[in-house]
Structure 1
């Protein structure tokens, strides 16, 4: 027999989400458990024929102030907080006619859903639950005597305990439920405080709360010895967290990280303007391209680095069609993510049973503000999402030669990609496709040389006589601190450069560009991604 099972004789139910409520409450009532409830929950139970008392009968006060005050009463909180084995507590309960509440079932006003629906400020405030969190915290604190349920998924666990232990709930389950209860109220308060911070324009609040709900427990993290789980936050941003997995194995930690990187990158390309495909390996793009069709874009992206693309992630900005699907399943790919897919495309991907196909239902907005987080020892860094978009930037020509229209188009393309490449980032592009990418090097000139080498390797793989970088443009995510990185790009065959500018040696770099006959523009915006 587990230690310290506690018999349930009286339960208070007050829920916003009534999923599974009637069946659960009926099962409790059939065990002779007295049910007490509030407002809409009570009406739902009465309509289903489940015997229930109104909380007003317990408190002696009616619900008031539009339901804002109904459970904030000693008869409720004393029943939750009173320690059954404490003589002083028992004497107080007896003296004031307070009956114990052994089971609390509460889920909270739908604040997060109200915010996500874009409702007014006043509506959001009205959906901030007060009595619910107060009762949850009280019951969770007194979990030595009280079981608290905040999630309908736990109804079965409670009923299983009641069946197995003659109407009692074990301490093991009560502790697990208490932990979940505190986590839920913490996430709820986090959603409220972060929403308020946004409403008042507070970018750096004195306290930053974080909260999320479990999406799934992962087999492991980046490496097999690391435990990991995936959580969803209240932010409704199309991507991995919103996607429907049509088929394939469970996503791994690295799959989710890489797929997010790919989908955020492809969202830089407006689907009404062009089809676009991004191939990502280890969180870095290894091929990006635009095209008249997804298939064309995919084939151009694959040409950039076919070796790295093996076992990679493919993201696109339009619904997956059959023609593109046939091309994508020709090599081993871990994940395909798209806003949607045709039935024919889904059937084609289904032939690769381990290939994960995710349909996100939309594209994230690259201009949308948001919060980006990174942990450090003893704390975390919080910053705004990099929502700068090259189409909104005032490009300044700084060289004697101005870029041609073709060069300018490729420059904007390359800078979109550079935003999503780990720093130091160098991206060569030509005709709406990457032809060489250098990522994550300690030296910008090394990134430039690696990107040039990649372009030469891609040409050899395609059977072409000269490097794909010949006649390309080059984008740098940050300024060139010295002319050597720019000159390496010129040696590789680039004809034009786009970079943020802002170096102490800008004049030296501009002179080098002029001497090499390059066109160069400054964006005034840096895109570091460490």
Structure 2
């Protein structure tokens, strides 16, 4: 492979014309001949540049509504010919094929078309054919041809030409080729994923995954691990799309925990203020309130020790009063749909705090596919969007829950979905008062959550443990009565759990003996 190739001719065919005129003008000023198609050629001519139509080069007009224009030997020969191969050079000369040293193509906006909910036929029409074919050809022949698929690489091309006397070097072309193949792979992944959904294929034989780099991270979960953050293009409100208003760069763990916090608080919509405080992807406090500051204080009280250095998520606008309260301790990240100007000024005094503004809440019930890598494969599933309402609850005990207990039971159930299994959550008056997460035994989670409540009693100066008069949520059924008995001993009065154990009756009997109300959901929320 030759290391340096003078740039004499470029083929430009772009859907996104951002920066096109300035880039093409800069190429033309460097003596580069411009070939182009359709709308791109028109835009360049209107800007006063000299352009040759691809149709003139191939001797064939664009046809079939533009579906066929660059699929021609005179285009692909110019992209694929090896310039150090005598047979290739002879074929170019015999068939009057021009060398193309630079290909500039960005593809039909398929992803954007799907994102706006276009009809099936419109999506099909926005599947680019000629573009990917040319990109793959040029990228394969990166020994001689530079391939540009992203607007952000225009300046890099011009810099490369200036530094190498109007030529491109092999390392530069190799880098562009890798980007080009990643782009066509992502494009095909978007098409195949959309089509699987459009035809109702739940588990296609082959599945493609793609993302666009958002950030190279300093390290992963630990300093010895390399990491990066990629966007999947769904534009779901949250950590991936939020505007960072201040603070240090987000770390791997920051991103993971902030996503967990914002997804949890979004379960409560915007009707009533809610706050979730997360530590290591588990909630250490979740609460609602009449005001945002009340919700924050109640969430904070659940576990004041763990809240230090945590992630705070709000479902409503962060105001100055709440910001003042939050900044009394150190927090890694604060994320909210909006932040008012006065709150920004308050948080600005804490320069290390990362402040994110999302512009809205995600639809927690939107269909989303999640992925987890295992050795040699990927586990793929739907996001846990399970919904339980009052009508879904089955009362299985002699005593029925009170209205307040029912509201707290549903609150606890929403939180349970976001706590690592085995999960036990004590809730009282719309706030968590004890959280037990990630234990191997459900009874251990029950005990830990009750102990956390005792710590809350001491920290807040309560006369008695807040689990007295609370309700309890269990993310999966109680396999034995011991977990329920432990909750009853802690003072809980009502239980929500999936049911479905072979010992359900034993657990129901234990609840009846202690005067507890218990409801079954028929749905579990394992979170591993």
Q: What's the TM-score bracket when you normalise by the shorter of the two chains?
A: over 0.9
Superposed, 1:122-141 pairs within 5 Å as 122-141=121-140
State the shift of 1:234 in Å: 2.2
CA contact (8 A) 2:2 2:144 kept: no
Partner of 2:258: 259
Which residue of structure 1 lines up, in the alignment, with residue 152 of structure 2? 153
1:481·1:503 contact (CA, 8 Å) conserved in 2? Answer: yes
Q: Is contact 1:191–1:234 with CA below 8 Å preserved after alignment?
A: no
Match of 2:426 among 418, 425, 428: 428
Structure 2 gap segments, 5+ residues each: none
Give the equivalent residue in structure 2 for 1:513.
511
Matched, 1:49 2:48: yes
Alignment of 1:22-421 (within 5 A): 22-272=21-271, 274-391=272-389, 394-421=392-419
- Shift in Å at residue 20 of structure 1? 1.4
Q: CA deviation at 1:415?
A: 0.4
The alignment status of 1:464 with 2:462, answered yes or no, reads yes
How far off its partner does 1:3 sit?
7.0
Structure 1 runs (4+) greater than 3 angstroms displaced: none
Mapped partners of 1:495, 1:386: distance in 2: 28
Shift of 1:391: 2.6
When the two structures are superposed, what TM-score results if normalisation uses the length of structure 2?
Answer: 0.98
Task: Say if 1:393 and 1:523, in contact at 8 Å, map to a contact too.
Answer: no
Distance across 2 between alignment mates of 1:81 and 1:393 = 65
CA distance in 2, matches of 1:328, 1:123: 48
For structure 1, which segment, 213-222 or 389-398, has the greater mean C-alpha deviation from structure 2 after superposition?
Answer: 389-398
After superposing the two structures, state which structure 1 stretch, 42-51 or 403-412, moved more.
Answer: 42-51
Q: 1:83 to 1:392 in 2, by over 3 A?
A: farther
Q: Distance in 1 between matches of 2:184 and 2:259?
A: 28
**Alpha carbons 1:277, 1:289 under 8 Å: kept:** yes
- Which one is further off, 249-258 or 195-204? 195-204
Q: Give the distance between the partners of 2:309 and 2:413, measured in 1 at CA.
A: 25
Q: Among 482, 485, 492, which residue is 2:483 paired with?
A: 485
- Work out the CA distance in 1 between the residues paired with 2:114 and 2:243: 22
Q: What secondary structure sits across from 1:333 in the alignment?
A: coil
In structure 2, distance between residues paired with 1:240 and 1:121: 30
Q: CA deviation at 1:248?
A: 0.8
1:161-201 alpha-carbon deviations (Å, 9 max, x no partner): 11111111010000000000000010111111111111111
1:16 aligns with 2:9: no
1:482-524 CA distance string (max 9 Å, x none)? 1111111111111100001111111111111111111000001
CA RMSD, aligned part only?
A: 1.2
Q: For 1:248 and 1:117, how far apart are their aligned partners in 2?
A: 33
CA offset at residue 247 of structure 1? Answer: 0.9
Using the TM superposition, give the Cα deviation of residue 393 of structure 1 relative to its aligned residue in structure 2, in angstroms.
6.1
Structure-2 change in CA distance of 1:500 and 1:466 (3 Å): same
Between the aligned partners of 2:440 and 2:229, the Cα distance in structure 1 is 31
Distance 1:181 1:393, change over 3 A: farther
Q: Deviations over 1:276-313 (max 9, x none)?
A: 00000000011000001110000000000010000001
Q: Which whole-Å deviations, capped at 9, do the CAs of 1:403-447 have from their partners, x for residues lacking one?
A: 011111100000000000000000000000000000001111111
What SS does the corresponding residue of 1:521 show, helix, strand or coil? strand
- How far apart are 1:392 and its partner, in Å? 7.3
Distance 1:68 1:319 in 2: 48
Deviations 1:125-177 (A, max 9, x none): 11111111110000001101110001111112211111111111010000000
Question: Could you say what secondary structure the match of 1:215 adopts?
Answer: strand
Q: How does 1:491-502 map to 2 (within 5 A)?
A: 491-502=489-500
**Any conservation in 2 of the 1:276–1:294 contact (CA below 8 Å)?**
yes
Give yes or no for contact 2:2–2:143 (8 Å, CA) kept in 1: no
* CA drift at 1:325: 1.4
- Partner SS for 2:332: strand
Tell me which moved more, 39-48 or 497-506: 39-48
Q: TM-score, normalised by structure 1?
A: 0.98
Aligned equivalents of 1:232 and 1:339: distance in 2? 19
Most deviating of 166-175 and 59-68:
59-68
| CA–CA separation in structure 1 for the residues paired with 2:144 and 2:493 | 75
